[in-house]
Amino acid sequence: MKVVEKRKVAEGAGKTEGARRATGVFPAGAPAAEPPAVSGADTEVIAKPQRRRFTAEYKRRIVREAERCTTPGAIGALLRREGLYSSHLTTWRAARNRGELEALAPRKRGPKAAPPDPRDKKIAEQEREIAKWKKRAARAEALVEVQKKVAALLGTPFESEKS
């Protein structure tokens, strides 16, 4: 939202010349005028100018375009097209040479992700395989227990008990 400033438009400007005298006598015999009444029509609204802000990407783009200009007057045409001053270009070139414009490039926030270790990947794969075999072995043991119970109920000896 823009900030605006209000100014009063002077009424009767030019009717009297000079300041009012302390004695109450007005210059050039002008009658004493009452203070002007302020109304909505007498107020002039002037927008306060805002400072322009340029992103680092925009600055880098303009400096690159200026570097590509080879013909006389091309840089001036670029500056006129973009509405810039030559001091902008000078400042931005110096900042680029100091490395400030690259430092302003957007970067991913947070801790840097370390590349995954191939050994960790292999360990995780082996752990999954071990868990799968343990589950299968537990199922096989449960099956053997069921077979023993069935053999005991039927009265037939189980193969492992024979030997």
Tens of pLDDT, residues 83-126: 999 999 999 999 888 887 777 666 777 888 888 888 999 999 99
**Can you tell me the mean pLDDT for 28-49?**
63
How far apart CA 54 and CA 60 sit, in angstroms, is 10
What span, in angstroms and rounded, lies between the C-alpha atoms of 41 and 54? 38
Per-position b or e across 17-49, b if 16+ CB within 10 A of its CB = eeeeeeeeebeeeeeeeeeeeeeeeeeeeeeee
Q: What angle do CA 107, 110, 114 make, to 5 degrees?
A: 95
What pLDDT was estimated at residue 116? 84
What lies within 8 Å, CB to CB, of 7 at 6+ separation is 43, 44, 46
- Please report, in angstroms and rounded to a whole number, the separation of the first and last CA atoms in the chain: 94
Over the Cα atoms of the chain, what is R_g? Answer: 45
Give the predicted TM-score (pTM) of the model: 0.38
Residue 163 — pLDDT band, cuts 50, 70, 90?
A: low
